């Protein structure tokens, strides 16, 4: 395998006024699974295509195992790419689809057969080798596309939203298969997706992109627990983090949310001291709000109750404010719309954001 390094990689299209990707920098360690995550148009696929050699690099440096790749054609970068579309040859069997690229490289027949059999065994394709793509399910076709990458034994695997065409149940299964495949191969992988569940469950680290820039890089749970700005806080997590307009008291030790006040302590109190203004946004994830009394409580009007089976999502409006927030509670929650509920806030899991810069304080 290999180490992949992007050093201030940028892309500007000739006909465009704005830069598509700006100064993207990170290193994917040998054997690491890195996920590029973000909404449509954020630059993640453009970044991947620059790594693959399918897009030219406007500025910056791309290194694979320390060797500069900027001007090398895609075929000389020793990478394998799996696309959103399966891109299988419909007139060829699974075996021939897997072997096609190796034959183009004039590889000996015995080596081709060994690689195809190994990949088929790894992906559970042995019974399907003589079938053609039209006789395969969506998940089986995606495994063939993966196998076509595996047989090449590349330095780096690139994935461009490979599960987007699958239904929900198949996506769950394929996530597990991809994670298991990564563990077996110990391969260096760069994976692009807009699906936060894929990023959280599969990635060793995630790089969240926003408007062509890197918003935050880190281990999934670290980024989830400590988002760098409001975009990351609301993009990662379903339901998203609650952001409530709030005001700090004169001594910065009390936070006013509508007509109610929370006394601050610990890291949140330290953040309040650093705030450049008394006007802040208070961030709390729905699972860090619970029904009942505690050390930090608010009264809120229940607006809606959504039972989901395993859990219930409750939409609330804290007293004295028009802002709304969500609470994730057990399915035994018995509140009803228009009732006044007492809720407890976990201040240790809360955040303050600067409304002007959108950065976490």
pLDDT digits (tens, 9 = 90+) for 88-120: 999 999 999 999 989 988 899 999 999 999 999
Tell me if residue 339 falls in helix, strand or coil: coil
* 167 in Cβ contact with 138 (< 8 Å): yes
| Sequence-separated (6 or more) residues with CB below 8 Å from residue 331 | 307, 308, 309, 310, 311, 312
Residue 246: pLDDT above 90?
Answer: yes
Task: Please provide the average confidence, as pLDDT, over all residues in the chain.
Answer: 93
Task: Give Cα separations from 335 to 206, 272, 306, 345 (angstroms).
Answer: 37, 33, 11, 17
Q: Which domains can be identified in the chain, with CATH numbers?
A: 4-228 (3.40.50.300), 239-353 (2.40.50.140)
Q: How confident is the model at residue 1 (pLDDT cuts 50, 70, 90)?
A: low
Pick the closest to residue 288 from 220, 221, 333, 344 (CA basis). 344
| Sequence-separated (6 or more) residues with CB below 8 Å from residue 86 | 133, 141, 142, 144, 145, 165
| CA pair distance 81, 9, nearest whole angstrom | 19
Q: How confident is the model at residue 294 (pLDDT cuts 50, 70, 90)?
A: confident
Residue 16: pLDDT above 80?
Answer: no
Share of the chain above pLDDT 70, in %: 100
Q: Burial, 290: exposed, middle or buried (Cβ in 10 Å; 0-12, 13-18, 19+)?
A: middle
Tell me if residue 149 falls in helix, strand or coil: helix
Q: Burial, 170: exposed, middle or buried (Cβ in 10 Å; 0-12, 13-18, 19+)?
A: middle
Pick the closest to residue 222 from 195, 200, 244 (CA basis). 200
Mean pLDDT of 303-328: 95
Report the half-sphere exposure of 355 (CA within 13 A, side-chain side): 11
Residue 178: pLDDT above 70?
Answer: yes
> In the prediction, which pLDDT does 170 show?
81
Length of the chain counted residue by residue = 361
């Amino acid at each position: 395998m290999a180490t992949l390094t992007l050093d201030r990689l940028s892309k500007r299209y000739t006909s465009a006024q704005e830069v598509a990707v700006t100064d993207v920098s990170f290193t994917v360690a040998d054997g690491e699974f890195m996920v590029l995550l973000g909404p449509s148009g954020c630059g993640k696929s453009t970044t991947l295509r620059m790594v693959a050699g399918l897009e030219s690099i406007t500025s910056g440096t791309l290194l694979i195992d320390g060797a500069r790749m900027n001007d090398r054609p895609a075929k000389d970068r020793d990478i394998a790419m799996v696309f959103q579309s399966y891109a299988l040859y419909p007139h060829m069997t699974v075996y021939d689809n897997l072997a096609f690229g190796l034959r183009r490289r004039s590889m000996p027949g015995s080596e081709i057969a060994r690689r195809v059999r190994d990949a088929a065994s790894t992906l559970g394709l042995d019974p399907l080798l003589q079938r053609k793509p039209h006789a395969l399910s969506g998940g089986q076709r995606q495994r063939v596309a993966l196998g076509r990458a595996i047989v090449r034994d590349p330095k780096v695997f690139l994935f461009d939203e490979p599960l987007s065409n699958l239904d929900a149940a198949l996506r769950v299964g394929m996530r597990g298969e991809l994670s298991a495949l990564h563990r077996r191969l110990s391969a260096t992988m760069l994976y692009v997706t807009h699906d936060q569940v894929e990023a959280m469950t599969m990635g060793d680290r995630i790089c969240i992109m926003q408007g062509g820039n890197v918003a935050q890089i880190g281990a999934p749970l670290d980024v989830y627990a400590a988002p760098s700005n409001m975009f990351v806080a609301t993009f990662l997590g379903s339901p998203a983090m609650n952001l409530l307009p709030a005001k700090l008291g004169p001594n910065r030790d009390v936070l006013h949310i509508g007509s109610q006040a929370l006394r601050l302590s610990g890291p949140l109190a330290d953040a309040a001291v650093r705030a450049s203004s008394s006007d802040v946004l208070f961030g709390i994830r729905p699972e860090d709000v619970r029904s009942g009394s505690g050390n930090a409580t608010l009264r809120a009007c229940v607006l809606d109750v959504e039972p989901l089976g395993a859990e219930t999502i409750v939409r609330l409006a804290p007293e004295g404010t028009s802002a709304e927030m969500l609470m994730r509670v057990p399915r035994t929650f018995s509140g009803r719309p228009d009732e006044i509920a007492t809720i407890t806030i976990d201040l240790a899991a809360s955040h303050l954001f600067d409304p002007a810069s959108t950065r976490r304080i």
